[in-house]
Amino acid sequence: MRRFWPVLVLLVLAPWVGEYLLGNVPIQRLPFLPVLIPLYGCGALLAREIARHTGRGWPTIFLLAMAYGVIEAGLVDQSLFNTTFEGLDQRGVTPVPWLGVSAYNAAAFLVGHTVWSIGVPIALVELWFPARRGSPWLGRFGLSVTFVFYLLGCWLIFKELRDQESFLAAPHQLVVAAVTAIVLIALGFLVPRRRAVVVAAAGWLPMPWLVAAVTFVTAGLHVLVPESWPGFWFDVAIVSASAVAVAWLARRPGWSDRHRLALLAGALLTYAWLGFILTLLYGPGDAVRWAGNGVFAVTAVLLLLVTRRVVGRREVASPGLGEGVSAVGAGQHGR
């Protein structure tokens, strides 16, 4: 069982972060978390395992995570095309007429799934199990089983929301979503394998606390940008700039697990307070839902504190290990 602890933790963590911490699913529906594991948990596990099995790292993981987001929002729950999804009127927000989508909402879905549903859970679990950070956790059989359960999860969510929403996207919308996902997956495999250690030149690195603060502010700007075309383009700019900055800094000597944890702290705490905002908008009179937001927020803080303790103990036991692992990983796997 020790071999499978990273797998089990990731399977639970992905749907919890992506839906419950966000506040999109209230605590009353916590018993239904296992229903989301095949879609979210297996999706995150597939993205990670495919990248690691092929000797690739975070660029590939993020491209596969983007494909996951397109598949979920475009083909499975079809919220990308449903202008009245869950009773919300999305028709007047940055419309793209022929596709029948909102550019603003499409960006929100894509970034949310890429960063929070897939990226954050994977990075957090890899911090807990650093010895297995760059290697696969499953063999071919386990990978095949994961894929089957992922397809099952897609079907279950598709069927439930099709019956609930009485909506089915147009054929051309489904084709565009499918082609976009295929292109993103293909791009993930086009990312070269990096076997030689290639580290950027030494230079300034921000302190971890500054990384956490900037991430928290940037993530907050992302979720609070106005629902308009200027807001959409501003969001594209800050998300792109953040991705480039992190990729650039992560290749420098001295980038450590503390910096990685700082990124996770800024992202997780953003979803922690955003859950309260969603409850204020969609369930202001639901006392149990408010209490659930508090429980989930405290859980997120405890997860970060436990991770900080794990990272700290590892640094005490093996000084410099975090920086060394990070530097080698950046060179070998584009992490």
Residues 199-241 pLDDT 10s: 555 678 999 999 999 999 999 999 999 999 999 999 999 999 9
Mean pLDDT value across residues 33-54: 96
pLDDT at 91: 62
Give the number of other Cβ atoms within 10 Å of residue 82's Cβ: 20
Residue 182 has pLDDT above 90, yes or no: yes
Taking the alpha carbons at both ends of the chain, their separation in whole angstroms is: 27
| Mean confidence (pLDDT) of the chain | 90
- Please say whether the dihedral angle defined by the alpha carbons of residues 8, 13, 14 and 15, taken in this order, is positive or negative: positive
Residue 196 has pLDDT above 50, yes or no: no
CA 98 to chain centroid: 29
Task: Tell me the one-letter amino acid at 65.
Answer: A
Query: What is the residue whose two structure tokens read 């499978």?
Result: 4
The string of DSSP letters for 294-327 reads HHHHHHHHHHHHHHHHHHHHHHHHSTTHHHHHHH
Any idea what DSSP says for residue 202? P
Q: How many angstroms separate the Cα of 146 from the Cα of each of 114, 125, 150, 183, 228? A: 19, 18, 6, 22, 39
8 pLDDT band, cuts 50/70/90, is: very high
Give the number of other Cβ atoms within 10 Å of residue 332's Cβ: 18
Give percent above pLDDT 90 in the chain.
Answer: 78
265 pLDDT band, cuts 50/70/90, is: very high
pLDDT at 266: 98
Q: Using an 8 Å Cβ cutoff, are 13 and 124 in contact?
A: yes
Number of domains in the chain: 1
Residue 197 has pLDDT above 60, yes or no: no
Q: What is the pLDDT of residues 65-87, one digit of tens each?
A: 999 999 999 999 999 999 888 77
Q: Using an 8 Å Cβ cutoff, are 158 and 77 in contact?
A: yes
Q: Closest by alpha carbon to 122, among 11, 21, 213?
A: 11
Least confident of 13-27, 164-178, 190-204, 257-271: 190-204
Range of the domain at 232: 2-333
Mean pLDDT value across residues 107-111: 94
Residues in the chain: 335
Q: pTM of the predicted model, to two decimals?
A: 0.91
Task: Tell me the one-letter amino acid at 158.
Answer: F
Q: 120-128 and 287-317 are packed helices; what angle lies between their axes, rounded to 10 degrees?
A: 40
Q: Show the CA angle centred on residue 85, arms to residues 80 and 89, nearest 5°.
A: 100
The span from the CA of 288 to the CA of 295, in Å, is 10
Q: What is the pLDDT of residues 270-280, one digit of tens each?
A: 999 999 999 99
Would you call 96 helix, strand, or coil by DSSP? strand
Q: What contacts 298, CB < 8 A, 6 or more positions away?
A: none
The span from the CA of 332 to the CA of 327, in Å, is 9
Query: What is the residue whose two structure tokens read 């999305």?
Result: 90
Query: What is the residue whose two structure tokens read 């383009």?
Result: 233
What is the b/e burial string over 219-243, where b = at least 16 CB atoms within 10 angstroms of the residue's CB? beebbebeeeeebbeebeebbeebe
Give percent above pLDDT 70 in the chain.
Answer: 90
